[in-house]
Amino acid sequence: MRRLTLEGLELLVAIDRAGSFSGAAQLIDKVTSTVSYAVNKLERDLGVSLFKRNGPHIALTAAGRGLLAEGQVLLQAADDLECRVKRIAKGWESELRIDIDSLIPPMMLNALVQSFCAHAEGTRVKLMSEALSGPWEALTDGRADLIIAAGPGPSGGGYQSLKLAELDFAFCVAASHPLGKAHEPLTSNEVRKHRAIVVSDPARRMPSRTVGLLRGQEILAVPDMRTKHAFQIAGLGVGSLPVLFAQSALDRALLIRKELEEPARTEQLYLAWRNEESGLALKWWREALGAPGVIRSYLERASHAWGADY
């Protein structure tokens, strides 16, 4: 049985704050003899001296100072837990995990995070960032409660989704790349001769997505679309990029858009959550991120950040 209680820690804090047993008694609305008895019992139970006594004057021992420091942490944690339990009883989750496609840097959600924390104090928010199938796998595996993901979700259901935006893609090469002066439309055989820059799919259980890759083509895999964009500008390879994000480099002729025999593709961005989830925090974020134009504005801000790199 544990001999240390929250009441004992609160008593220790009160004595340290008041500087005496009598002062602490006034703080906690007890008589001095009750405080003195409680301290003696706590010391006996723990088998250590917590105070040096010199008449009415007291001072914490080294053990007492250590217990006070750690005890204040435990008391704060207990207060946080009590608050969180009350909010859970009212329908607020203790934690909400949001996995966002790497096209949108989590920092761009700072205003929403600030607004949410002011509205729903006590619910922890965990932001994650992955590419391609990563967010979908996190949702279906239960590692995320809400996702912003590119491309359609896996078969089998179990989740609901809302289309947020559509991104047009274009095949791009650096101005210095050999394909930059090639006649259009480019054939698959022509493209296959050159290294492709592809975004690595972090999914472990779901089949990895490979977009725009030709059989037998050399590849250079990178962690996200922004890195792919930078490597293509550097002439290290070729591939399709979201037009919105590549436009600044296209306008400055850092990249050249080339037409292929195959039609240009589009990619859908979805907001998705599991069917059984219905907490108030999820509802708040679902409504905030699903509001018309919100995700598009984040994508446009992200594209400006990409353009500022060059």
| pLDDT, tens digit only, all 310 positions of the chain | 567 777 878 887 888 787 777 777 787 778 888 878 888 888 888 888 888 877 767 788 888 788 878 878 887 777 667 666 666 665 678 889 999 999 888 888 889 999 998 887 678 899 999 998 899 999 999 999 999 999 888 888 889 999 999 999 999 999 999 999 899 899 989 999 999 999 988 777 766 666 667 788 899 999 999 999 999 999 999 999 999 999 999 999 999 999 998 887 899 999 999 998 778 999 999 999 999 989 999 888 888 888 777 6
Q: Which domain holds residue 187?
A: 167-267
Tell me whether residue 21 is in a domain. yes
Is the same domain home to 184 and 258?
yes
- Same domain, residue pair 263 and 174: yes
Structural domain includes residue 1: no
Do 142 and 277 sit in the same domain of this protein? Answer: yes
Q: Is 290 helix (H, G, I), strand (E, B) or coil?
A: helix
Query: Within this chain, do residues 274 and 148 fall inside the same structural domain, yes or no?
Result: yes
Are 259 and 288 in the same domain?
no
In a domain, 307, yes or no: no
* Number of domains forming the structure of the chain: 3
Is residue 12 located within the same domain as residue 37? yes
The DSSP result for 150-205, as a single string, is: ESPPPTT--EEEEEEEEEEEEEEEETTSGGGGS-SSBPHHHHHTSPEEEEPP--SS
Residue 309 lies in a domain: no
pTM (predicted TM-score):
0.71
The upper half-sphere exposure of residue 82, i.e. CA atoms within 13 Å in the direction of its Cβ, equals 7
**Whether residue 112 is found in the same domain as residue 78:** no
Helix (H) / strand (E) containing 277: none
61 and 179 inside one domain: no
Residue 147 forms part of a structural domain: yes
Task: Let me know if residue 141 belongs to a domain.
Answer: yes
**DSSP at 95:** E
* CATH number, position 68: 1.10.10.10
Domain identity same for 155 and 272: yes
Give CA separation, 200 vs 210, 223, 301, in Å. Answer: 8, 5, 24
Which of 67, 89, 111 represents a domain boundary (last residue)? 89
Q: Are strands 266-274 and 146-150 parallel, antiparallel or unpaired?
A: antiparallel
Judge if 176 and 212 occupy the same domain.
yes
Shared domain for 108 and 194, answered yes or no, is no
Q: Distance from first CA to last CA of the chain, Å, rounded?
A: 64
SS3 60: strand
**149: which strand partners?**
270
Contact in structure between 267 and 252 (CB atoms under 8 Å): no
Q: Is 151 left (phi over 0), alpha (psi -120 to 50) or beta?
A: left
Bridge partners (DSSP) of residue 26 are none
Check which CATH number belongs to the domain holding 284 and give it: 3.40.190.10
Does one domain contain both 262 and 178? yes
